[in-house]
Each structure stands twice: as structure tokens, then as C-alpha cells.
Chains A and B, each alone.
Chain A
Amino acid sequence: MTNQIIKMTVNGEKKEILAEPRELLIYVLREKLGLTGAHVGCETSHCGACTVEINGKSVKSCTMFAVQAEGAEITTIEGLGSPDNLHVLQANFKEHHGLQCGYCTPGMITRAHRLLQENPNPTEEDVRFGISGNICRCTGYQNIVKSILSAAAELNAAKEAAQ
């Protein structure tokens, strides 16, 4: 099949990628851009391990063609925080033991990041509903929910302090 050039902005950097029209976004991110944080768990949109942010929405990148992301702004887990400056969510997942094997974690944190943009003051129920497209097999979610609620509180406190 003929390759196409796809232009997208990934974690703030402009990228030009050559890919077949049938290539899924997750494989382009993982194998052509070396961003292996998002994972493949089901290829049917059920598990959410491949979750990234595209143009301000949480998207399961295993069921989207890379060509569909032409011109898009994409944020992956690698674009949230840095080793010296962890994102509040990353720090809180560690603090509250919100992960075990780590396979769902990048998708889960990326989803939580968008969730807190959509709803900065979520209740526990909001969080549970908001991450119900992301499956975790290890934690039973209790500590994930705790991590997200704690991150929300921290972000809100920082916002208040800034005002």
C-alpha cells in the first residue's frame, strides 16, 4: 500500500511521519515515534491501555488510523511531566499506590488528565465513571480513584493559591 505523509504535533513537537493508510495510530506512536508509553491491550477499544489525548479529547489510539490524526495535536504520557518535574497525577499515583504492573498506567493517567480538564472538581462517582473506559487488572481501582481525587485537590489548592 502507498505510504502517506502525516503531519501532527506530538507532545508539542511537530512531526512528519510516513505511514500506510491502514496503520493504526498506536503503532505509529509506539514504533515510528518511539513513544512506547501507551500500550496495546485489546485492539478493540475496550481496555484503554492505548489512551492518548487528541485535540483535547481522550482517544483510544488502537482503533484510529494514523492518517486520521493529520494535523492533530496529540499528547501522550511522555508529554505529561518530566523526571525532574512530575505531573501532579504522576506523583499522586506513586504516593497512593495507584499502579502495580504499570501496563494500564500511561493510559489511565492520560485519561485522568483529560478528566480533570473536563471536570476539575469530580466526586468519587465522577472519577469512577470517567475512567470506566480504562481497565486495570491489578489495583481494583480503589487507589487509582484515590490518586486522581488527591491530584484534583492538589491542583485546585494550587489554583486557589495562585489567585
Chain B
Amino acid sequence: MKDEVTREERVTNLKGLGSSRKRVEDARFTQGKGHYVDDINLPGMLTGDFVRSPYAHARVKSINIDAAMALDGVVAVLTAKDLEPLSLHWMPTLAGDKQMVLADGKVLFQGQEVAFVVAKDRYIAADAVDLVEVEYEELPVLVDPFKSLQSDVVLREDLDPTAPGAHGPRKHHNHIFTWEAGDEEGTNAVIDDADVVATEEMYYHRTHPCPLEPCGSVASMDKVNGKLTLYGTFQAPHVVRTVASLLSGIEEHNIRVVSPDIGGGFGNKVGVYPGYVCSIVASIVTGVPVKWVEDRMENLMSTAFARDYWMKGKISATKEGKITGLHCHVTADHGAFDACADPTKFPAGFMSICTGSYDIPIAYLGVDGVYTNKAPGGVSYRCSFRVTEAVYFIERMIEVLAIELNMDAAELRRINFIKKEQFPYDSALGWEYDSGDYHTAWDKALKAVDYEGLRKEQAERVAAFKRGETRTIMGIGLSFFTEIVGAGPVKNCDILGMGMFDSCEIRIHPTGSAIARLGTISQGQGHATTFAQILASEIGIPADSITIEEGDTDTAPYGLGTYGSRSTPVAGAATAMAGRKIRAKAQMIAAYLLEVHDDDVEFDVDRFVIKGAPERFKTMGEIAYAAYNQAIPGLEPGLEAVSYYDPPNMTYPFGAYVCVMDIDVDTGVPKINRFYALDDCGTRINPMVIEGQIHGGLTEALAVALGQEIAYDDMGNCKTATLMDFFLPTAWEVPNFETDFTVTPSPHHPIGAKGVGESPHVGGVPCFSNAVQDAFRPFGNRHTNMPHDHWRIWKTANDLGLHD
């Protein structure tokens, strides 16, 4: 058979690995035909809405629903009393704690769910919410975790103060856990003996992932067939199905969970929220579908905060700047319930990646979790579990150490980087970094921005400022980060006992196209585009002929979902492995068709060829047809495969970022003049999508570093519950970003990919913050806390006497 197209054209036609393939999702999204949970409209559907607590801490004396029930169109009002017989008034959290679904005797944070109104439409439901009369008795409020640990006030009266919690002994009735890694005694000994020690305290403020689409669900209980269908904003639909089954007693095969299109997640949609549970109960009670969709205020006040870490660090070094030890202690404010979305064995997530990209011989990390009268959550906002906190901590400690040593912070990083030849590298806190080439990335970044030139320019600016010729100062923000993403392995990582593997199931159709289903769910990452590319390269079927489907638990194989940049490292690996199973069977079919031995054919782009005689081949299309329609001795018909992939290790993407910023000391307004981001995420699947992820992650980093926070007053009132107060940057505030890359494949991932969605956020936050702090370094600044909004920047300038 003669081939009309060249091999190169055949590779291009696949649109496989490395192709900037345009996204298949965009057709529906650009035409307004996305299908999000609030777009679901089932016959007879009712709407649910919450009565929420105005107080941060109060006893609920009584709830009177009579007036609400009397309103025309109200179908039900649920309180904890109604849920109690079903044992659904409390629910387990992902962190092994439990959380009230509806207020059971008291409320512990402002905005807590007290009663659930079910009505004919959203307007009647809102009217009825106002008609529910709740009598509260205010209790003392604790919003400061340090005070909470000293207070006689017991927040969680449901817990035995002397009994251990899910993560070991508790020291106080408002203490949740102590979690430690490393060698404290040894670390202290090294630090006590060191030439130079830098200490710093920093607060990584509370914030919120705030995806543009709030959380919601539609529950539909089909009583005739005993089947429950639950649509919702779920980053982990299979986990939701299992939890829903355990909670409701409905057998898992009778529950179908569907994540439709999701309007951004960023960690907000990992957990299980009272609204989901209430919509299920309400549908069971009423026998018709019930929709619950939170509004923006409810989103910011009650579902899934992030960060809120008070971090104390000590770092020691030789006079030459070689780091000898690191000590870190965190007081972690978890709010009213410990609802962190972390693997079970890691109540502080992967905070122990806080030795960063540096070869630090000995280290210690201790984390104390504390209850306060704030919303529960503790999710990983665009990062793997607590990695943003860890990277911020070490990248600030490096800067502070550089000040202590009177040394350039870029050079200090360079002399402490883990060297290329040290990989796989065992960190002092127990991680095995898979691969890296930090020096190459750093040198490339510094050269790209002309680092030395920037420092000269900065010095000139300082001089001009001191001469009174300008009122702007210049900051050069540096950060070098190492992420830890892609949880499993199952032996280390589970959530509520469910091992963190992931999965892919592929079905090749007779005419040579395919469908693949995965245990993950895209929230904008473009899985339908990129997973098809992985498969295209593995099985030789064009990406355009492969449908990717996720999010329906009736059809997709079980998986742990999409968060912590785990889709590519885990489900992406499963996809490649399932593809290889397809290829193995295809090889046997090809050999049969070509009448040669299996070993005499080899895979070549989109076909199997006879070794040494590539003009004799069978395309994947021909093989697929034969798989179904030709009786092949010894082979079952069909061409399908499934892979459940338990990763041997996590992956460790890294990157080097530089931000150049001007600050007007009189207004406190920063202006970003340049942002350079070099990312190494291993093998690059779709450069266009990678770049888009980096732009987005950097923008969310800008938000967090420069103004976004969830703040409370002393009464526990949330002061930032609307987009008026909660900073989401617009096109006006966000600069253009320059992206760059190196490629250091992961040695254990089937295609060498590491994941990228969260890297820019993890590396970006310290980079923006360091830029602000670096601008003030020549004037005596050592550390100021984020968020660096205009007021705080102005205040820093004022405190340093720059307005005198």
C-alpha cells in the first residue's frame, strides 16, 4: 500500500502531545451553550434557600417556622430536628471532623446554615427565609487563634475535650491537632550553633478561591425506582457519591452524581457542603427535584476559605550563605469545624514541602490546628494541599536571610539550590523530589530579565528618591518554587479512607474513533482537549476523533477528582497506561492481519508497521474495524481498556519568577512593569493551554498578594462578603505576563508530565509579595504581611519614614 502523506504530516494530524490544539470545549462556551448546574431545570423542581446565622457564636434558643410555612408556595422548612432522625444534622468533614449541616443547638460562625426553606421559586424561598424566626443568645466570640487557645470559652461542645481528635491528642478544648515533621531537637541544635540566624513571623491571611460560578446542587430522588441523581459543582464527583451513600444509606449503585460544566473551582468545590445535603434531603422529603445554588455572599461567608496560617520561622546559615537548618511553626486557624481538604495523614497538607527548592540538611515543622468562630474550610486555593503557604514561607525566609547576610537574594538562592545530580532528592522533611534542574532555570530567568541591569536601575532609583527627584520606588520580586502535586500514592494519600488513585477507560469504536472516560472533572482546564492529545500520541487516533467524558459517576470509572494539580499526574498517567493496553491488543491484531509474528510489528505514529518494511502496515482505523468484525483466533472481539493508576510518587514541578514593580509611596499604588514566569512542568502536552493556566494562576496570585482577603471584625462579622470588598482583579489591574519554560520530565510518570495549573499561583504569590518588600528593603524593610493593598503599602512607606 502506498502512503500519500509524510510521516511528519501524520504526526501533525494526530494533534497529540506538544500540539497547541484549539480547545474543543470552546464551541459551546462561546455560544452560551455551556451547561452549568444553575442551568438545570427539571419538571416540578423546587428551590432551596438557607436561613443563616447573623452571629458568629450564639446559642439557638428556638426556631419558629410557622409564619414561613404559612406563606403560599412554601413546601417545607427543614431544621436540625428534622435531619436528626436521619442522622444527617451533622456530616463528616474531609478532615475527619464533623460539621453541622443545620444549627444543632448553637451556631459557630456568621453565615452558618440554620434552616433550609424549600419553595416553589427563588423569590418565595427568599421571602420565607425572612419569615423564619430564630431566637439567639449571643456567646463570646473568638476570632484570634492565639486567644482561642487560651480561652475558657468552649467552641465545640460536641467534642470531648480530653479525647484525641482525628489527628491525635488535643492540648486544649479549642485545639484540633498538632502535626509534626522532621527533627526538632537536631534542628534547634544546628540553629543554636549557627553563624547566622534569621527569624521572622508572618501571617498568610485568610482568603477564598471565589470561582465565578458559586456552589450549587440539584437533587432528584426518583422514588419509583429508588434512584437518586445529584447534579452539582463537584470537583470530586465519585467521592461525593460514596459520601452521599454512606450518609443517606442509599446504596451506591442507586446514586448517580453528575458534575456538569463547572464555572471554575480553584479548590472551592472539593468539599461537601450543607446545601448539597439539604437539597438531597429536601428531594427525598418532597419527592420532586430540589435545586440549591448559593449567592456570592453565601459563597464568601460559608464555603471553603483558604490559608489563614500564622507562621514562625528560623533559618540558619554559614557566613557564606549556605543554609544549615530550618525551623517552622504554624498556628493554623481552621474556623469552626476542621473541614480542610487534605489527605487524611496530612492534616496540614504538604506544608512540609517548606524546605522549598533548597538543599537544607535538617529541618522541623510543627503545626497546631485551632478552632475559632470563623467559617470552616481550609481548602487548597489553586494549589496542592498547603503548598502555597509552604512556598510563601520559605521564599520569605530566604529574603529575610539575605537581609541578615547582607547578600543578594538571587545569589543566596543559587548557592542553596538542590543540584541537578542530587535528584531524586530526599528532603529533610521526608519527600522524594522526582527531578529538577533549578540552576538552569534560574540562570535562564535572570538572564531573560537582565537581573544585574535591574539591580543597577533600582539603585539609581533609590538614589533619585533620596535626592527628592521621584516619589516612586522600584521593587524586584524573586521567587523560585517547587510544587508537590499529583496525590496519591495510595499508600500515603487517601481522603476519608478513599485511596487517591485515578482512572481512565477507553473504548475504540469500529470506525476508528474513540471515547475515553476519566475519574477527574475539568473546571476550565480543558481536559476534553488535552487528555485526547495524550491518547492521540499513545494510540495513533487523531485527538479530533476522541471524545473525552468526565463527571458522570454512572459512566466514568471511579476516580478521586480534580484538585491539587492531580489530573495530569494521575489521571493523565492512567490515560497513557490505558492507551498502552489498547496498543498492546492492537499490535496482536495488526500482526494477525499482516500475517507475521506479534514481535515483527512495531507502532509508528498512527499504525503498526512490519519492522524493516514500513510500507506494509495496518492503520489504527483498520485495526479497530478488524477488532470488532473479524474473528481473530485467541482474541476476544472489541478494543477497550481501563487503567486505575496509583502513582509511585508525587510530581515536583518548579519554576523561576521575576516581578518588576514601581510603587508610588504617596498613594501606595503598585504598578507592575514586568512579570517573567519560567515554568518547568515536565513534558508539555498543550503549550497554549499551559500558557493560559499560567496567566490565570498568576492573576490569582496577584489578587492574593495585593489585596484579596477574608477579614473579620472582633464580633466575628465577615467584612469582605461581597465583590465590593473582596478583591478580584479586573483587566485594568492585571499586566501582560511573559512566559518561558524548561523541560525536565518526571522520571516516574508514563509521559513525563508533572501538572501545571497551580504552579503559577504557588510561585506567583511570593513573587508579587517579594517585589513589594524588595522595593522597601533599601529603606529598612524586613517583612510586612500580605495582602499588600494600597493602604498597607502606604502604611509600610509611612512606617519607614518615607512620608517625612
Contact = CB atoms under 8 A, between A and B. Distances in A.
A90 B689 CA distance: 18
Nearest to B730: A132
Interface in B278-304: 295-296
A81 B31 contact: yes
B54 interface: no
B731 A102 contact: no
Contacts of B728: 46-47, 135, 137
Interface in B11-69: 22-23, 25-36, 38-39, 41
Interface in A127-161: 127-129, 131-145
B760 to A, nearest CB: 9
Interface in B186-211: 210-211
Given A90-B30, A138-B696, A100 B212 contact: no
Contact of B734 (A30, A36, A141): A141
Interface stretch (B165-173, B519-527, B581-589, B626-634): B519-527
Q: Which of B31, B214, B696, B732 has the most CB of A within 10 A?
A: B31
A115 to B, nearest CB: 11
Binding site secondary structure of chain B:
loop
B430 interface: no
B261 interface: yes
A144 B692 contact: no
B731 A93 contact: no
Nearest to A45: B723
Contacts of B667: none
Contacts of A134: 730-731
A103 B122 CA distance: 21
Interface in A82-113: 83, 86, 90-91, 93-95, 97, 99-106, 109
B22 A143 contact: no
Nearest to B32: A37
Nearest to A37: B32
Contacts of A101: 29, 211-213, 261-264, 523-524
B722 A44 contact: yes
B688 interface: yes
Interface residues of B, number: 55
A93 B30 contact: yes
A128 B732 contact: yes
Interface in A22-71: 22-23, 27, 30-31, 35-44, 46-47, 49
A86 to B, nearest CB: 7
A128 B212 contact: no
Given A36-B32, A97-B692, A137-B696, A41 B525 contact: no
B123 interface: yes
Nearest to A105: B29
Contact of B22 (A78, A95, A131, A145): A95
Interface residues of A, number: 58
A135 B737 contact: no
B731 A137 contact: no
Contacts, number: 172
Contact of B731 (A77, A109, A127): A127
B418 to A, nearest CB: 30
Given A44-B724, A47-B723, A139 B695 contact: yes
Contacts of B526: 100
Contact of B31 (A83, A103, A128, A140): A83
A132 B698 CA distance: 18
Q: Which of B22, B688, B724, B730 has the most CB of A within 10 A?
A: B730
Given A86-B31, A99-B26, A137-B264, A142 B212 contact: no
A129 to B, nearest CB: 6
B26 A94 contact: yes
B700 interface: yes
Contacts of A23: 123
Nearest to A124: B736
Given A78-B31, A101-B523, A106-B32, A40 B695 contact: no
Contacts of A40: 38
B696 A94 contact: no
A42 B32 contact: no
Contacts of A31: 41
Given A97-B23, A142-B737, 15 more contacts: A41-B263, A41-B296, A44-B722, A47-B296, A78-B32, A101-B212, A101-B523, A102-B26, A102-B30, A103-B212, A135-B730, A138-B264, A140-B698, A141-B730, A142-B734
Interface of B: 22-23, 25-36, 38-39, 41, 122-123, 210-214, 261-264, 266, 295-296, 523-526, 688-689, 691-692, 695-700, 722-724, 728, 730-732, 734, 736-737
16 contacts: A22-B123, A31-B41, A37-B33, A41-B263, A43-B296, A44-B724, A47-B723, A47-B728, A90-B30, A93-B26, A99-B26, A101-B262, A103-B264, A140-B699, A142-B736, A145-B731
